[in-house]
A and B are shown apart, each in its own frame.
Chain A
Amino acid sequence: MNRYPLWKYITVAVALLIGFIYALPNFFGEAPAVQVSSNRATLKVDAGILPRIEDILQQAQVAADGIFVEPNGIKIRLKDGDAQLKAKDALEKALNPDPANADYVIALNLLTASPKWLTHIGALPMYLGLDLRGGVHFLLQVDMPGAQAKRLDSISADLRTLLRDKNVRHAGIDREGDRIVINFRDAGTRDKARAAIAADMADLSLVEQDDAGSLRLVATLKPEALVKLREYAIKQNINTLYNRINELGVAEPVIAQQGADRIVVQLPGVQDTAKAKDILGRTATLEIRMVDDTPGALERALAGQVPFGTELYTERGGAPLLVKKQVVLTGERLTDAQAGFDSQTNEPAVHLTLDSSGARIFRDVTRENVGKRMAILLIEKGRGEVVTAPVIRSEISGGRVQISGRMTTQEANDTALLLRAGSLAAPMNIIEERTIGPSLGAENIKKGFDSTLWGFVAIAVFMIIYYQVFGVISVVALASNLLFLVALLSMLQATLTLPGIAAIALALGMAIDANVLINERVREELRNGLPPQTAITTGYERAFGTILDSNITTLIAGLALLIFGSGPVRGFAVVHCLGILTSIFSAVVVSRALVNLIYGRQKKLTKVAIGQVWKPDADTAK
């Protein structure tokens, strides 16, 4: 009667086996490794470079424990930390002879030390969170109003060009907050302008507005264009961060969008937080504007009267420079920047490549302003810096621009890097930061592991003493719950954090509830005088409803944490919820399978070892 059909036993056995295999990699730990990846889009790191790497390692007398070719680079597993550092230095020297212009990123990393066949079937260890392995975590807020203002600025520039091309005379285009106002002298021109703009710029919605004698056309971004703009700003910023972090040489950076306007950056193993922040914090955007060369204007500005529509900047050399506010081009139009040399003068130079629309604007501007100066500005945190302000010698078409003059090779390299790493579509601020030292991470793992271990041992001892064979069964079910939970987390490649470990411990402490419920119910049925086999069946049946009820309320709390929790709480919630699900399976199905295996076959079962079943009437009868 208490027998499972064969398929149920097989299901349990298979589940346990799969759980075991996928939980296994976590016990092998990690080995130090060096990762070689490309620093250039044009350069691929693949099997082709393997012989070279092997050669370098042999010359440095470092024995590699295994070399793996992966899509994002080559990973070399090494025996210990010393070998890792030696290998990194050797590779760095051999692959990047010129450190200022590195072709490869050589980073320290950790690789799972589990056997190959495990890795082959996709059984990977859980990914350790920053609080367990050390590293830096940043939460960056993208300044969306800033992005919108920038976009509107560039649209106003486009509008000017458009109206000029179509020969529509306007009386000024200005951005006022989140809208663009175009003034006209007569209604006919306004209608013409309206038609031209509507045909050319689908992103704008136009409203006519007349006050006090002036005819105006007010343009705002359409809601869908606004959404697109936001999405673009986030995407562009993530790309830019990715490029910048690559320069840092971090093995496995996490760069992800969180919410509508936030970006999470996690750099495991990075200890030099100052440098990381420096590189991330460089929220530089590139702008090209014209220099105001009107005679006398600069002198007036220096005296404190900055002419309308211009700003005063200082050049790198220290000379003051008056720059128009109107932006000709922004960094968005830039596709590449490389350091090099001027082909004629052999001076260090930066070669820029613009996209097609940028190239067209640049051609027009340079044609109309030969002999004048243009300024290339880097805007950081609202403050601008003039990188260079070259004189336009001739019309520049084709989108290839060279910036040269008064630069050292190092400066050219830096500028190119900053420009290439991309400009951010919108400024960002760090709103949350967490740095965890590596020793703290190791300690956290030990603490989490210890508390789970000792808690488990204490519960096991108590259960076995109190419920005897049923106690052993409960403990086995609890252990299988742990196995399932770890396996599931590994399969999902979830990130394990200290709160996550706490949730595992808590899940075990709560999961035993189900087994206690079952055991108590079985005892009660025995007390009521039912024969053991029937008592087991009814005990399990009746307890199941209660187990379901109580787990669902816990699950509701877990889901609420999952929905509203962020950061460490989220890690806790994920494990908490999964733990509830695995505990139902292990407490009910696995423990029942064991009970059935042990007792189910005995036809004349008179006694089960579930501890003493005390009967009040037996006592009073004496």
Chain B
Amino acid sequence: MELFRIKKDIPFMRHALVFNIISVITFALAVFFLATRGLHLSVEFTGGTLVEVNYEEAADLEKVRGALSLAGYSDFAVQNFGSSRDVLIRLPLKSISADEAAGEQGMVRQGEQVLAALETEAPGAHLRRVEFVGPQVGKELAENGALALLLVIVGIMVYLALRFEWRFSVSAIIANLHDVIIILGFFAFFQWEFSLSVLAAVLAVLGYSVNESVVVFDRVRETFKKARSLSTPQILDYAITSTISRTVITHGSTQIMVLSMLLFGGETLYFFSLALTIGICFGIYSSVLVASPLVMWLGVSREQFVKPPKAKDPNVTEDGACV
């Protein structure tokens, strides 16, 4: 069986402008939604308390809300988590009062307090999980996340610049960063919860889709050295066409695994695998169809890969005699 039976190189570069315009539009939309809607950050980043409770039968969310209101909570979110019997309650950080120590202690007790509040109005709840994150931890996590992203970008750029050429490194990182923004745009548009594990998925997918550019670039370099008669766009077309089967199959396989996580992994892994899915799909597109034209426009040429013949020593005259 062979899925890809391509006789001639597909003229990807002829449509380079179209691919990039599509990219720019998606990118602009993503930025727009990020700016207007913002990310729905999880408790890990914002600080606050998260309580997951489980009922024997389907839970009555209205009752749960009523119980919490009665207990004096405001600004909380109650929703089903996975099944109708599981309920997730989110409580924001209380503004830290003058007595900070007592405030912290109060937060920490929220798990039990919530359970006690539920007991009167909506009895039968079993505590499954409590997560409390203090304000300083949340801030640090956000900072560390940004630092990690920065380290990945710099690391990959330096590596590609050393291994290939700066033009490749710049276009690969632009293409893949635009993936990251698009993933974030999806999370902003649908207001999916952006948690630490989603951040991990985004960074993992960043490292992973750069692979794609690497594979294509590897081919480009090899072809530049081998085929002297081809123009730069032709070489890029050839490189993409000859690796496309591998690209689709690899990403397909990874996607199978991610899909399995999406289906069987439950609520905890849901957004993690969702971020991976978006990342993988856009990764194929951008690392091949966005990065390659960028390389072309940045002016890649054969001379950058083929070592020029040794320059002649001006002191040596034509006939080889030394003066």
Chain A residues within CB distance 8 Å of chain B: 131, 139, 141, 273-274, 277, 281, 381-382, 427, 429-437, 439-440, 443-444, 447-448, 450-452, 454-456, 458-459, 462-463, 465-466, 498-499, 502, 505-506, 508-510, 512-513, 516-517, 520, 523-524, 545-546, 549-561, 563-569, 572-573, 576, 611-614, 616, 619-620
Contact = CB atoms under 8 A, between A and B. Distances in A.
A434 B264 contact: no
Given A431-B136, A560-B148, A566-B141, A554 B266 contact: no
Contacts of B200: 499, 561, 565, 568-569, 572-573
B108 interface: yes
B80 interface: no
B211 interface: yes
A440 B268 CA distance: 11
Contacts of A465: 1
Given A549-B214, A557-B207, A569-B196, A509 B253 contact: yes
Given A550-B215, A556-B207, A560-B148, A498 B269 contact: yes
A434 B144 contact: no
Contacts of B257: 455-456, 458-459, 505-506, 508-509
19 contacts: A274-B112, A429-B101, A434-B129, A434-B132, A435-B111, A437-B126, A437-B129, A440-B129, A451-B269, A455-B256, A459-B256, A520-B246, A520-B249, A546-B214, A553-B210, A553-B214, A554-B211, A560-B203, A569-B200
Contact of A451 (B145, B197, B260): B260
A612 B1 contact: yes
A573 B201 CA distance: 10
Contacts of A131: 268
B137 A431 contact: yes
A560 to B, nearest CB: 4
Contacts of B258: 455, 506, 509
What's the dominant secondary structure at chain B's contact region? Answer: helix
Nearest to A478: B253
Interface of B: 1-3, 5-7, 52, 54, 101-102, 104-105, 108-109, 111-112, 126-134, 136-137, 141, 144-145, 147-149, 151-152, 155-156, 159-160, 163, 196-197, 199-200, 203-204, 206-208, 210-211, 214-215, 218, 242-243, 245-246, 249-250, 252-261, 263-266, 268-269, 272-273, 276
Contact of A459 (B108, B196, B253): B253
A557 B152 contact: yes
Contacts of A554: 204, 207-208, 210-211
Contact of A509 (B54, B131, B160, B254): B254
B134 A435 contact: no
Nearest 8 pairs between A and B by C-beta?
A557-B207, A509-B257, A455-B260, A431-B134, A550-B211, A455-B257, A564-B148, A556-B155
Contacts of B265: 447-448, 450-451, 502
A466 B1 contact: yes
B1 A611 contact: yes
A435 B254 contact: no
A370 B197 CA distance: 64
Contacts of A559: 151, 155
Contact of A458 (B196, B256, B273): B256
B250 A512 contact: yes
B155 to A, nearest CB: 4
A573 B203 CA distance: 10
A454 B246 contact: no
Given A281-B108, A550-B214, A450 B264 contact: yes
Contacts of A573: 200
A595 B269 CA distance: 36
Given A505-B257, A520-B245, A555 B207 contact: yes
A505 B254 contact: no
Nearest to A434: B131
Contacts of B254: 506, 509-510, 512-513
Contacts of B101: 381-382, 427, 429
B2 A612 contact: yes
Given A437-B128, A546-B218, A550-B211, A565 B159 contact: no
A512 B263 contact: no
A520 B3 CA distance: 12
A451 B129 contact: no
A403 B211 CA distance: 71
Contacts of A451: 260-261, 263-265, 269
Pick from A454, A545, A561, A573 the residue with the most CB of B within 10 Å.
Answer: A561
B253 A436 contact: no
Contacts of A512: 250, 253-254
Nearest to B257: A509
A432 B152 contact: no
Contacts of B261: 451, 455, 502, 505-506
Pick from B52, B127, B260 the residue with the most CB of A within 10 Å.
Answer: B260
Contact of B204 (A429, A439, A458, A558): A558
Given A434-B130, A558-B204, 19 more contacts: A427-B101, A429-B104, A431-B104, A431-B133, A431-B137, A435-B127, A450-B260, A455-B260, A458-B257, A462-B256, A465-B1, A505-B260, A510-B254, A550-B211, A557-B155, A560-B148, A564-B144, A566-B141, A568-B196
Contacts of A569: 196-197, 199-200
Contacts of B260: 450-452, 454-455, 458, 505
A561 B203 contact: yes
A352 B206 CA distance: 61
A572 B204 CA distance: 10
A266 B57 CA distance: 31
A562 B211 CA distance: 20
B274 to A, nearest CB: 12
B218 A545 contact: yes
Contact of B134 (A432, A447, A463, A506): A432
Given A381-B101, A557-B207, A565-B200, A432 B133 contact: yes
Contacts of A557: 152, 155-156, 203-204, 206-208
B130 A620 contact: no
Nearest to B202: A557
Contact of A454 (B132, B151, B155, B264): B264
A568 B208 CA distance: 20
Contacts of B242: 524
Contacts of B151: 556, 559-560, 563-564
A195 to B, nearest CB: 41
A565 B129 contact: no
